Amino acid sequence: MVMWKIGRDVGSPKNDRPEIIDEVEDDPEPTLI
């Protein structure tokens, strides 16, 4: 899942919470899109 990585680079709202990114890694959901 490189999408979540790109979102973090761009400055997605999830970047504020690294914990959420960890969860997204385990549960790849179209929420960060």
Q: What is the pLDDT of residues 1-33, one digit of tens each?
A: 555 565 555 555 555 555 555 555 556 666 655
Question: Residue 24: its pLDDT value, please?
Answer: 55
For residue 19, the one-letter residue type is: E
State in Å, rounded, how far the first CA of the chain is from the last one: 12
Q: How far apart are CA 33 and CA 14, in angstroms?
A: 10
Question: Residue 16: its pLDDT value, please?
Answer: 59
Question: What global pTM score does this model have?
Answer: 0.13
Question: Residue 12: its pLDDT value, please?
Answer: 57
Q: How far apart are CA 28 and CA 16, in angstroms?
A: 18
8 within 8 A of 25, measured Cβ to Cβ: no
Q: How far apart are CA 11 and CA 27, in angstroms?
A: 20
**Where do the structural domains in the chain lie, given as residue ranges?**
1-33
